[in-house]
Amino acid sequence: MAEAYTTAGAKVTAADRGRLWVTLYLAVTGIVLLLMMTLGLLMRLAQSDILTLDPALFYQMMTVHGTGMVGIAALGGMAVMWHFLSAHVRLHGWVLGVNLVLFLAGVVAILAADFLGGFGGGWTFLYPLPATSGAVWPTWAAALHLSGLLVIGVGFLIVCLEIARAIIVGYGGLGRGLGWHVLFANSTENVPPPTVVASTMVVIVTTLALTAGAAILVMSLINIAFPEIQINPLLAKNMTYFFGHVFINATIYMAVTVVYELLPRITGRPWKTNKVFLAAWTLSTTMVLVIYPHHLLMDFAMPTWMMVIGQVLSYVNSFPVLIVTGLGALAILHRSGIRWDLISTLLLISMFGWMAGVIPAVIDATITVNSVMHNTMWVPGHFHFYLLLGLLPMQFAFMIYLARGEDVTPQGGDMTAILYLLFGLGFVGMFLMGGWASVPRRWATHLPEWLIWDQIASVMAVGVIVLATVFVLKFLTRMPRILQEA
């Protein structure tokens, strides 16, 4: 909608809010999601022994799929957060444009490095694998892939800095964006709404993650150019997993703003900021930064205290925000007389997917379980759970909301969201069952005993892709009208 919003007394038009860019972000998100899902299906078919793929090609596809999905999760999440945040603080829309150009340049570099150069080091690009492939790929391919990641990371960093600037200007500091003046000084002035609290957390943790990621990428590039300059492998692993863990986690904290903004509008009940809500977000802001060592539980050289923090805080990290969001959503929905439709069902599914997807993650963060399960399909099982059924339904709900001209009036019976949930559960369930039976993760070829899970998963993946296509098309077909209004 092209209406003007008022922020701090100034009229802000849809153009100022970056509406054009948000729309383009969503279009890119939708198209890339479908392409990456198709790559995922091809990998699953290869593991099912239904499709023959050269193992080198499998690892290139796995790298493109993993990297592409993480990047697009962030691009779509950022579009959601930016859209809602821009009604509360004054943001400069052109920054989104700069990020999109850098993102697409990085994608071209990564596609060339992986499919032309043969790079297949996984989305985690763990040192020293990129530089020591045993002649599977040339060093230029590794350098191009890492450079592509670096360019994408710089783009997101610029957006985070712009959002941080706007929150500091609008609320007087990042601490105030998190509501510390309310939490610790009982102030009732300029109380940040849930979207501002979530966005503040996102920019703090994502900026730190991107900085660590950029540093290890630059160090790895130097190592590729001058192999005599080596990196401490444990330091490299810490920096890489700190970056990866925090960055992918933050995507769901970006997208959850759609729940905070739309459920109140659908039910007519406000989502108020209170002290419990603020405390939960502050706790998660700190904990999400320190729990990444649960990815390194098998690295005996890690200091014990870090492992203890990694394990213990992994149990509690997700709960504060999950509980205030889940209970907040239930409180808003309870006896609200809501008439369920596609948007509200997707939002409810996203709450379920996020909460349920955390359970297998917490189980895997337990050292005794981790030493058996960590390199099994259990791990893709847990992260596909909360990304496919938690994050993506939030992004689809937002796409449909924009496609309907920001109208949240229920439009009646639509089973597509329920079908998406069922196929999604079947798909991630097969990953988890494979992990339970110790099927290793990241194997291009599977033993005959494992094929049953792979084959059922492939059928389920087809269902997921068909339904995702329906959601994306609902948005893409309305895009010309949305752009006209932008």
Residue 7, beta-bridge partner list: 10
Helix (H, G, I), strand (E, B) or coil at 424: helix
Could you give the dihedral angle defined by the CA atoms of residues 95, 23, 177 and 12, in that order, rounded to the nearest 10 degrees? Answer: 80
At residue 192's C-alpha, the angle toward residues 190 and 195, to 5°, is 155
Question: Given the complex with ligand HEM, which of 66 and 130 has the nearer CB atom?
Answer: 66
Q: Using CB under 6 A, which of the segments 179-187, 253-261, 386-394, 414-422 binds ligand HEM? A: 386-394
Check: CB of residue 205 under 8 Å from CB of residue 244.
no
Residue 65, interface with ligand HEM (CB under 6 A)?
yes
**Binding footprint of ligand HEM, residue count (CB under 6 A):** 25
Question: Given the complex with ligand HEM, which of 178 and 387 has the nearer CB atom?
Answer: 387
Contact with ligand HEM (CB under 6 A) among 28, 73, 163, 467: 73
Residue 353, interface with ligand HEM (CB under 6 A)?
no
Residue 463, interface with ligand HEM (CB under 6 A)?
no
Q: Nearest distance from residue 439's CB to ligand HEM, in Å?
A: 8
Asked whether the bond before 128 is cis by omega within 30 degrees of 0, the reply is: yes
User: Token digits for 11?
Assistant: 């009229």
Q: Nearest distance from residue 484's CB to ligand HEM, in Å?
A: 30
Question: Given the complex with ligand HEM, which of 384 and 474 has the nearer CB atom?
Answer: 384
Q: Nearest distance from residue 318's CB to ligand HEM, in Å?
A: 17
Half-sphere exposure in the Cβ direction for 7 (13 Å, CA): 21
Q: Using CB under 6 A, which of the segments 39-47, 143-151, 191-199, 475-483 binds ligand HEM? A: 39-47
Check: CB of residue 89 under 8 Å from CB of residue 169.
yes
Q: Nearest distance from residue 378's CB to ligand HEM, in Å?
A: 10
Contact with ligand HEM (CB under 6 A) among 120, 380, 390, 393: 380
Q: Which amino acid is at 35?
A: L
Q: Nearest distance from residue 22's CB to ligand HEM, in Å?
A: 19
Contact with ligand HEM (CB under 6 A) among 25, 84, 123, 260: 123
What is the C-alpha separation between 278 and 184, in angstroms, rounded? 10
Q: Using CB under 6 A, which of the segments 139-147, 336-344, 457-465, 469-477 binds ligand HEM? A: 457-465
Residue 79, interface with ligand HEM (CB under 6 A)?
no
Q: Using CB under 6 A, which of the segments 96-104, 301-309, 399-407, 458-466 binds ligand HEM? A: 458-466
Check: CB of residue 328 under 8 Å from CB of residue 271.
yes
What is the C-alpha separation between 403 and 23, in angstroms, rounded? 10
User: Token digits for 123?
Assistant: 């989305």
Q: Using CB under 6 A, which of the segments 117-125, 280-288, 314-322, 411-419 binds ligand HEM? A: 117-125
User: b/e per residue, 72-89, with b = 16+ CB within 10 A?
Assistant: bbbbbbbbbbbbbbbebb
What is the C-alpha separation between 110 and 469, in angstroms, rounded? 25
Q: Interface mask (CB under 6 A) for ligand HEM, residues 82-101, using x and -? A: --------------------
Q: Where are the alpha helices (DSSP H) in 86-193?
A: 94-111, 139-171, 174-177, 180-185
Would you give the end-to-end CA distance of the chain in angstroms?
A: 7
Residue 461, interface with ligand HEM (CB under 6 A)?
yes
Contact with ligand HEM (CB under 6 A) among 97, 118, 122, 175: 122
What is the C-alpha separation between 168 and 152, in angstroms, rounded? 25
Per-position DSSP letters for 203-232, written without gaps between them:
HHHHHHHHHHHHHHHHHHHHHHH-TTS---
Q: Interface mask (CB under 6 A) for ligand HEM, residues 388-427, using x and -? A: x---x-----------------------------------
User: Token digits for 115?
Assistant: 């499919």
Contact with ligand HEM (CB under 6 A) among 28, 32, 69, 329: 69
Contact with ligand HEM (CB under 6 A) among 235, 442, 447, 483: 442
Residue 192 DSSP class: P
Q: Nearest distance from residue 111's CB to ligand HEM, in Å?
A: 16
The binding site for ligand HEM (CB under 6 A) comprises: 37, 40-41, 43-44, 62-63, 65-66, 69-70, 73, 122-124, 380, 384, 387-388, 392, 441-442, 461, 464-465
